[in-house]
Amino acid sequence: MGQPYPPFRTAKGRRVIGGIRRWLAVTAGGLALTGGLVAAGPQASAAGLTQVTGFGSNPGNLSMHTYAPDGLAPGAPLVVALHGCTQSASDYYAHSGWPKFADQYGFALVFPQTSSANNSNSCFNWFDSGDSTRGKGEALSIRQMVDTAVARYGSDARRVYITGLSAGAGMTANMLAAYPDVFAGGSIGSGLSAHCATSVSAAYTCMYSPPNKTPAQWGDLVRSAAPAGTASWPRVAIWQGTSDTTVVPANATELRDQWTNVWGIGQTPSRTEGLSGGTTLSEYDDASGKPVVRVYSISGMAHGLAVDPGSGPDQCGTAGTYYLDTICSSYHTARFWGLDGGGDGGETPGTLPAPAGLTVGGTTDTSVSLSWNAVPGAASYEVYRGGAKAGTTTSTSYTDTVLAVGTTYAYTVAAVDAAGAAGAASSSVTATTTGSTPLCHTANNYQHTAAGRAYQSGGQTYATGSGQAMGLYNTFVTHTLKQTAPGYYVVADAGC
């Protein structure tokens, strides 16, 4: 259920990989428990998990599910949680423990969900560059969910976090690399280094015998995936069981090397501490003495997410297949990110109130004009587009430029005091630039066909509408398709 095994979508593929097939057979008995687990999950205080549709172009063909506590205040944080293979949004919601702390600390949750149409085992495609890099496939769909949730719940776009288990953890690492301007922190549970694999065969190598790269080599994979000039990085928690034979413990070491190098710090812990459940915490501080990377090593734990059922303040979750009764990882991760309101996470915000009256004054095909009410004591204002700072101004208006045509953006504004500390973010507004732009989808031929953008005949794949040849019908051939009219797609590998 939590394992991040890649897909073998055809009978031929399964016959070829005999060893993997035998391994899957061994795990099948455990996977059969999934249905019973979901029903046993805890009930949340609000209406429960809600599916949200129409959250963007959704090139990754994912579904979006959210949970928000009753009476959620504007400017609250947002956490994105990615399930493992054969799991679902409702399964992860029921067992991970995150809803308890959303209620207790006051933040919204997004649970993306993939399906067998994307991957035969319902894994996020963390090993496929067409799905796990900035602006493409599943990664872009998750990014669009963030924009939608920020607008829907008025979330603080500066406090967006992402977590995941196994395949979801592999995708989490890639999302942190691709969108460091969106995520303030991440938590990788029984997962893999960012961009450890870009193919199915490499995925198995990473899981069982990860490459022994230098910290600089691992860090370069993140830096090359991030926007050019990125200087601010997310804080990263790494969770790993010492008895994990699916994603072996060496992956935690490579993850530590990767993210400490990204932060420009060494691989020797600043301190270590013993926690409950046989857990050893190792912290790695930045130059200011703030922990920015944490590794939680759980003695004897196999592959799965660490939970600790019970009513205690540091307990959470429901035990089951790939939800292992050891320690509440969600509690410790939430505190690491500062979601409990303590001083453990991130920068201390300023005290100025959120600007009121944020409105969209007008749009063109490449710009959005905004205005808001003045905040007494404000020396300037920071404008955020989709969680990333778009600009700073000393006035109460701002025009964001060089935008894409026909695209929807979410904005918030924060007042900055004389000391340079930004206060609470405003409620979010959305604006759509004028004009239209063709929708582009990068995926493998199997995914294009499953989504209706292509069709297969005689083992070959063809673009829907144009009928352009795309090669063999399999998971290894990747193309970009541009939709130029309803039901009409053309190959646009050279650019869209």
Q: Which residues are catalytic?
A: 166
Is residue 353 within 8 A of residue 365, CB to CB? The reply is no
CB atoms closer than 10 angstroms to residue 383: 22
Task: Please state whether beta strands 63-67 and 50-52 pair in parallel, antiparallel, or not at all (unpaired).
Answer: antiparallel
The residue whose two tokens read 């646009």 is 492
Closest CA to 139 of 121, 152, 127: 127
Q: Which residues contact 137 (CB under 8 A, 6 or more apart)?
A: 59, 60, 125, 128, 130, 131, 441, 442, 443, 447
Which three-class secondary structure state does DSSP give residue 310? coil
Q: Which helix (H) or strand (E) holds 408?
A: strand 408-416
Distance from C-alpha of 87 to C-alpha of 1, rounded to nearest angstrom = 6
Please report, in angstroms and rounded to a whole number, the separation of the first and last CA atoms in the chain: 37
* Cα 199 to Cα 128: distance, rounded to the nearest angstrom: 6
In angstroms, the CA 175 to CA 162 distance is 8
130 secondary structure, DSSP code: H
Between CA 62 and CA 40 the distance in angstroms is 25
